[in-house]
Amino acid sequence: MKVAIIGTGITKFGEHWDKNLSDLAFEAGIGAITEAGISSKDLDSMFIGNMSAGRFTGQDHLGAFIADKIGVTIPSTRIEGACASGALALRCGINSILSGESKIALIGGAEKMTDLSTAHVTTGLMGAGDEEWEGEVGATFPSLYALMAQRYMHEFGVKKEYISYAAVKNHYHASMNPTAQYPREITLDTVMNATMVADPLTLFDCSPITDGAAAVIIADEKTAKQYTDSPVYITASSQAQDTLALHNRKSLTTLNATVMAGKKALAQAGKTIKDIDLCEVHDCFTIAEILAIEDLGFFEKGKGAEATFNKETTLNQGDVTINSSGGLKACGHPVGATGIKQIVEVVEQLNGTCGKRQVNDAEVGMTHNVGGSGATAVVHILEK
C-alpha cells in the first residue's frame, strides 16, 4: 500500500507578534484540509511535530490542544525529536496509514519562538544537545556547528567563502518564495563581514529564530484517488540515530545518521542519488548544508562546499537543486515546523506550482531533517 499526500498548508514564516501558536497551527491545518477537499470530520488521526512549546509558550499537551482548536476529537499526538520533530510526526502518520489504523491523517508542525529573548531561545534549543557534556559547560548549537566548520576547513583545505556561499544561494531561492522569512538576496561580502557568532560562523551563516507552521494531509492510495487524480506519493521514509554529543563521534565532518538514513531511503524507493531532482536539506548553519549534500551522496566528501560555490546546487544550474525554498537559512527555522515545510516545498515542486523558483522537470524529491547536531536524521523521498 502506498501513502499519498493530497493537501498542503503553510503559514508565512517570520515574526508573528499578532498570532499565537494555535493561530499558526490552525492556519496551516485548515489550509491543508481545504486544499485536500476534505472536512475535519474525514480525519482519522493527527500527529503534531513540536520541539519546545512548553518552554517557548507555556503550552504543553499539544496534541489535545491543536485538536481542540480544529474542533475534532480524533486521536491527536504531539511528536518531539528536536528540530526533526516535523519529519518524525510524518513518519508516525505514515505508520498509522500503513497499519490500517487511519485512512486519512493530518500531519502538522508548528513552533512559536519570537516571544522570548534570543538568550532564552538559545538555551531552550540546547536541550536538543547533550546537557551534561555540552550545555552545562556553555556550548550552544552555533558553537558546535562552528567546531564542525573549523574541522571541515582544516581537513579538506576549504575556504570559508565556499561554505558561506550556501547562504547566498539560499537567499536567492528565498527571494522567489512568498512564505520565506527573508525573501531577499544577499551578497557573499554580507555573509563574510557580518557579526561573528562562533568562529568561523557569522550571523548570516546561521538560521534565524522564527514563528511558523506547516501541514500536510496524507491518505492511503485508494482513499487518495477519491480526492485527486495526481497525488504525490511518499516512496521512502527513513530514520537513523547517532550519539547526542559531538565528542563521542569518530568524525566531526560526517553525520552518520544522515548517511544511514539516506542510504535506507534510497533503497526503500529503489532509487540512486542521481535520480533525485531536488532536495531540501537541514541547513541550520551553512556548514550543515555542506555536510548534508556530501553525506547524502550528492558530492564526494570534501567537495560539497566548492560545488556549492560553483553554483552546482543553485536552481536549475546543476544536476540537483538544493533548498529551492530558501532552506532554514532564509525561509526560517520554526524548529517543529521545518520538517513539514520541507515536505510542502517538494510537493509544490513536483506539482509544478512554484513559479519563478520551479525546478525544471521535477519528478523525484528528497527531504532531510536533522535533530540537534546530528543525533537524529530523517529522510523522505517523494514522487509523482
Inter-CA distances, 213 with 54, 340, 372, Å: 16, 8, 20
Picking from 215, 1, 219, the residue whose alpha carbon sits closest to that of residue 102 is 219
Whether the CB-CB separation of 37 and 49 falls below 8 Å is answered with: no
Inter-CA distances, 183 with 168, 193, 329, 357, Å: 12, 20, 11, 12
The stretches of the chain forming alpha helices (DSSP H) are: 21-36, 53-57, 62-70, 85-98, 118-125, 141-156, 160-174, 188-192, 221-224, 256-269, 286-295, 304-309, 338-350
Active site residue 83: yes
Whether the CB-CB separation of 20 and 57 falls below 8 Å is answered with: yes
Active site residue 333: yes
Looking at the DSSP bridge assignments, the partners of residue 368 are 379
Strands in 376-383's sheet, in edge-to-edge order, are: 76-79, 45-49, 104-111, 212-220, 3-10, 232-241, 376-383, 364-371, 278-280, 321-322
Marked catalytic residue, from 171, 282, 333, 380 = 333
Marked catalytic residue, from 83, 206, 279, 284 = 83
The catalytic residue positions are 83, 333
